[in-house]
A = this chain, B = another copy of it.
Amino acid sequence: MEKPSRREFVLGATAAAAAPLVGGAVNARAKGPARKLGVAICGLGNLSEHQIAPALQKTEHCRLSGLITDSPEKARQWQSKYGIPAANVFSYDTMDRLAHNKDIDIIYIVTPNAQHADQTLKAAKAGKHVICEKPMEVSVEKCQQMIDACKAAKVKLAVAYRCRFEPNNLECSRIVRDRELGQLRYLDAAFGINIGAPGQWRLKRELSGGGALVDVGIYALQATRYLTGEEPVMVSAIETKTDPVKFAEVDETMTWQARFPSGVLATCMASYNLPTVTRFRGIAERGWFELDPAFLYDGNHGRRSDGKEIAQPSGDQFAAEMDDFASCILEERQSIISGEEGMRDVRIMAAIYESARTGRAVTL
């Protein structure tokens, strides 16, 4: 399927919101255009509780209809809060029974990275569409399994890149695409946070597959790709570890640089050991643009060298992302955040780790 341009996507999304939903998906047809697709959240951690569930109360084309968790206590709390019937609550081991549930169309996977493939395979086998938190998985091979499984089951697969629906990030992509400041030449992008307490799953390689790079660096990597509209052809990376106890299993801070086919160079940074910094700046022939902050849930804004502000309301990126995925299902469109797109980042991050380990630039 041909990937739509971002311009087409933006126009398409607007059109979808205004027009009745007349897509060809079986579920949509079965219950008519007004039906909202049912979403079961798989994994009821912080992100699900504070971002995704509230966002699903604001969506036009989705509703929170199910839960997948191994915590009976959390299940009870969520059922009570969101009015979810016991029939729509599953554990990780009973996901095969999803096949018989007509109230759930989409599984939103929000579990540790190394569980994504397993749960995606189960969801696909049950005939459910899947949107999966990023990083997609811990290896290219696992990503490919997810893509293959969803293809075989004829369900859609997306990776939850919320910034692809953030108006200020979209505006910066537009500035580059329309060459409003001329040809882009250089980008720098950074995402650093203080990861907090030791012991959490993100610091365990078996569950996370990596540290700062795969968790927050992926935003900077994505930004270099959606801002340029190109794929990097070479990356090189350096890692540093100032706390080898806390970060015994995963990367604490990484920098990498990348070259793109048009000649754009990018320098990027990801850290688990900094005060929060989320920013990028692009420098083009005739000026620059920047977002700082760039990747927050809300309040992203920036400026341009010509004095113009870039400061649209960030909106609820999770709600926009879910509505787009539902529209893709209903209209049988390929998502711009497809499994293939998620796998590209995993492949590039593997190259970044390889470069940091070997001290050699990796050609992609």
Contacts and interface: CB of A to CB of B under 8 A. Distances in A.
Interface of A: 183, 185-186, 188, 190, 192, 234, 236-238, 240-242, 253-259, 262-269, 271, 273-275, 277, 283, 285-288, 305, 359-361
B188 A269 contact: yes
A1 to B, nearest CB: 32
A358 B283 CA distance: 27
A316 to B, nearest CB: 27
B275 A287 contact: yes
A256 B257 contact: yes
A67 B153 CA distance: 82
A246 to B, nearest CB: 13
Max chain B Cβ within 10 angstroms of own Cβ: one of A186, A190, A271, A288: A186
B265 A288 contact: no
Given A185-B274, A275-B283, A288-B277, A255 B263 contact: no
Given A186-B253, A257-B238, A288 B275 contact: yes
Q: Which of A188, A254, A271, A287 gathers most chain B CB within 10 Å? A: A188
Given A274-B185, A359-B361, A267 B255 contact: yes
The 10 A-B pairs with the shortest beta carbon distances in the complex, nearest first, are A267-B267, A359-B361, A242-B263, A255-B257, A240-B263, A255-B265, A236-B236, A255-B267, A240-B265, A238-B257
A255 B236 CA distance: 11
A180 to B, nearest CB: 14
Given A269-B265, A288-B277, A361 B185 contact: no
B275 A305 contact: yes
Given A257-B267, A265-B269, A275-B286, 17 more contacts: A183-B242, A186-B192, A186-B269, A188-B269, A192-B283, A236-B236, A238-B257, A238-B259, A240-B265, A253-B263, A254-B265, A255-B266, A256-B257, A267-B269, A271-B283, A274-B285, A275-B288
A259 B356 CA distance: 12
Nearest to A363: B359
B275 A186 contact: no
Contacts of A185: 242, 253, 271, 273-274
A359 B255 CA distance: 16
A110 to B, nearest CB: 29
